[in-house]
Structure 1
């Protein structure tokens, strides 16, 4: 009888071992990864000597940032976290298992630098340096002595649903990085440094590849005329060696400088798509430039609404060192009521094509609406600029070829509703390439707006829905 029992035990062990050995290696990896995932908690009533569990939370985000590893989530409970040094994650995640720092659902989480952090004006309140695959979600960063969030030399970073308020430099900046997303964030009163130190821009993407800046609101950087404290301060800026980026569905307003700026600066910038943004009450709406000699190549500006900008709506700039702009497409934008905030005779215009570097090539400007500006379009008669098939309503220095003259018939310009009404001369008039497949609202194009049996795209940012 004893021998029988021994045999059963041995068989049981053997069966168990066989089952384990037959598990596929990738399945074992998934099991181990699942077991390793940990959620840490942070609370203003916690202690950094705690375990970081929900019942025993840490007191500081800094502590969680030192222990969180790939696949971990750090949930931050509501309250104000006054910090004395930047929060710097010690570890990276992976593409399939990022590290996530997020506000607890329904809670307001505030990280406050009290205008003392970072003391040396390097980095930001949340400073991601040489790391990868991190998500920052739903946190307000305020009163920074430099940036709200700074990402540098990093990969796979997503900043979403965050806010930045009253920062000396950028609310959010990514530099020297790749695979960056800034989504649904709100940046107010950035670039406020009173010491006249270069502050970059409110939302800055610099020398970064494969990026997306979408659904953000950037606003409220205004000063009395002549009283601006420092240089910089544009709304959203893609600069230097940026490549393969999208800037779309953002709202930018009430800024002392340019709303959206694409600037090659000293390096080569390429393949940046600026579309479906709304920019108003800035000095200038959207500008493509090369201030210091780098080449801006393959920039598209389309389906944007720009209005009430004081100096110029859309500008292909030739200022400072007037570097080369090549293969620039400006199409199906609506630009109105711009150019009334200056007494000059050059910048008071809806579209300004001033770039005239000998290496410039292939400017394609078509199917836009320029209406009700101080001047509609102004150029330097550049032979490489094709300006065709735009609706022009009001005084214009350079009408281009095939212009359509007439009131665009906005639905209600007095309430800033710049959709076009039935009977608008902009309906079913788009021609040439490129053409948009959706408008500023993601409405599919083309539609048969005039009900003649043929669907043709409309001019301007809005496709008329019959």
Structure 2
């Protein structure tokens, strides 16, 4: 009895710590509760989530929050056990100590784990896992700060299935979900919005691995797979997203796209997605190794901090820093940092991709470079410009290495340099500078210039 009382005391202290507002308006859920109505203390807490939701829904004049203690819960509906947890009232259903500590499983449940239909409903702070038929199905409402993992669907999207544009997911990780046919393994539907989410390592047999038919803001879409058709995103609207390392694994359909198919992009980075980054997409102010048609797009290596170890933040000197267009409704990045920041000391503009470079701070010396044009056919004459940063920019020497075996160009006044690349290939350009105090800085732009093979055409009756 002493141990049980001590447990209730700890739960009470945790509740007070996480929010002083939870009091008479809260229904509690705990695996150690005595399951006595009205479930409004930790000692009398309901022992399953749906019972607490049903009680609060029937008494919305008194209760607006269902607070769930740490533990592993099976999703079940108290009226129909084959249904998931249905939230039809304006309730906040919240894990006490966050998404890692409160787990809801759909093991053996032939329905979505959570079904959210009220426009003012919020599901927050859970790991939602093991669903045989969708993790979260949403007509309305919000899912926030959740991990939606290892769920499956045979006919719709596996992780989050959006039914209307009023369904929204914030600050969540959607990973290791799967789908068989229609929809996306990660998240998809006819509408819906994801903001500051990580969509990684989802896998579809057909249709799409990552996202389909939704809007995504400040999201990372990476390592998703599809056996057929599209791995990254299909028919989505993406703003300030990073799409990287997605793969089609079998390539059986009439079209196979590792990255994006039929998407609209603004301020995005799309790179290293197998053979094809884009098919039938419209983009602006976005970065990819090969420049895409559209206003403000650039063709360059985005220069991630550590591609091999999945750190897709930007290095100082990345061409994607301050290269986007400022959008009033995009005020932060995936990490929650404010946008825009002056990342390269040239002005505060939105960076491309889901991460914003921290505001520039003065050091002794730094440099980056810009190259125009970045691609061409046969032979390309590129103009290179040094961009300097640091407290001491009194440069006494520049070195330009064009990566094609030609001699390094150097001199005291070579802040710009011109070079012609005559052979097909991809060329890295490295700028090194030194100042009067003896400080040295260097920056390499990978795939700064791409030269394609010039094509000659031969035809009977030609005029040449």
TM-score if structure 1 supplies the norm length? Answer: 0.56
Distance change (3 Å), C-alpha of 1:370 and 1:133 = closer
Q: Quick check: 1:458 aligned with 2:357?
A: no
Q: Mind listing any 5+ residue stretches in structure 2 that lack a counterpart?
A: 1-21, 97-101, 361-464
Correspondence 1:158 to 2:119: no
**For residues 298 and 53 of structure 2, what CA distance do their matches in structure 1 show?**
62
Match of residue 44 from structure 2: 57
* 1:206 equivalent in structure 2: 163
Q: Which residue of 1 aligns with 2:186?
A: 235
Among candidates 175, 182, 190, match of residue 219 of structure 1: 175
Q: Determine the C-alpha separation between the residues in 2 that align with 1:155 and 1:435.
A: 21
Aligned partner of 1:315 among 230, 234, 243: 234
Cα distance in 2 for residues equivalent to 1:186 and 1:341: 25
| Offset, 1:437 | 3.8
Local SS of the residue matching 2:130? strand
**1:182 is matched with which residue?**
143
Q: Do the aligned partners of residues 61 and 418 (structure 1) sit closer, same or farther apart at CA in structure 2, a change above 3 Å counting?
A: closer
Contact 1:410 1:419 (8 Å CA) reproduced: yes
Task: State whether residues 311 and 338 of structure 1, in contact with CA within 8 Å, keep that contact through their aligned partners in structure 2.
Answer: no
Listed as ranges, the gaps of 5+ residues in structure 1 are 1-33, 70-88, 223-227, 264-271, 285-308, 318-327, 355-362
Q: Cα offset for 1:200?
A: 4.8
Listed one character per residue, the Cα deviations across residues 75-117 of structure 1 (whole Å, up to 9, x for unaligned) are xxxxxxxxxxxxxx5x1515xx54433223xx4252366xxx7
Cα distance change of structure 1 residues 168 and 52 upon mapping to structure 2, 3 Å threshold: same
Which residue number corresponds to residue 340 of structure 2?
446
2:308 partner SS: helix
CA-to-aligned-CA distance 1:324-366 (integer Å, 9 cap, x gap): xxxx5x4433333344635478433434338xxxxxxxx5x44
1:341 to 249, 256, 272: 249
Q: If the length of structure 2 is used for normalisation, what is the TM-score?
A: 0.57
SS in 2 for 1:147: coil
- Equivalent residue, structure 2, for 1:15: none
Q: Deviations over 1:237-257 (max 9, x none)?
A: 3x34x5xx5411222222223
CA contact (8 A) 1:40 1:52 kept: yes
Deviation at 1:413, TM superposition (A): 1.0
> Equivalents in 2 of 1:55, 1:447: separation in Å?
45
Partner of 2:395: none
* Equivalent runs, 1:299-378 vs 2, <5 Å: 311-316=230-235, 330-339=238-247, 341-343=249-251, 346-353=255-262, 365-375=265-275, 377-378=277-278
Counterpart CA distance in 2 for 1:136 and 1:43 is 15
Q: What is the aligned partner in structure 1 of residue 93 from structure 2?
A: 135
CA 311–253 in structure 1, closer or farther in 2 if over 3 Å, else same? same
- Partners of 1:157 and 1:53 lie apart in 2 by 20
Q: Distance in 2 between matches of 1:391 and 1:35?
A: 50
Contact map agreement 2:29 2:68 (CA 8 A) in 1: no
Contact 1:119 1:145 in 2 (8 A): no
Q: Specify the alignment match of 1:256 in structure 2.
A: 203
Cα distance change on mapping 1:67 and 1:443 into 2, 3 Å: closer
Count of aligned pairs between the two proteins: 327
Q: What residue in structure 1 maps to residue 315 of structure 2?
A: 421
> Any idea what SS the aligned residue of 1:123 has?
coil
State the match for 1:100 in structure 2. 65
2:53 and 2:272 map into 1 onto residues whose CA distance is: 56
| Contact 1:426–1:458 (CA under 8 A) maintained in structure 2 | yes
Alignment CA distance shift 1:144-1:185 (3 Å)? farther
Q: 1:149 to 1:101 in 2, by over 3 A?
A: farther
Which digits, 9 at most, give the CA deviation of each residue in 1:191-232, with x for residues without a partner?
26xxx6x355322232363x431122222235xxxxx76765
Contact 2:224 2:247 in 1 (8 A): no
For residue 276 of structure 1, the aligned residue among 201, 218, 231 is 218
Are residues 376 and 333 of structure 1, via their aligned partners in 2, closer, same or farther at CA, if it must alter by over 3 Å?
A: farther
RMSD: 4.3
The question of whether the paired residues in 2 share the 8 Å contact of 1:314 and 1:351 is answered with yes
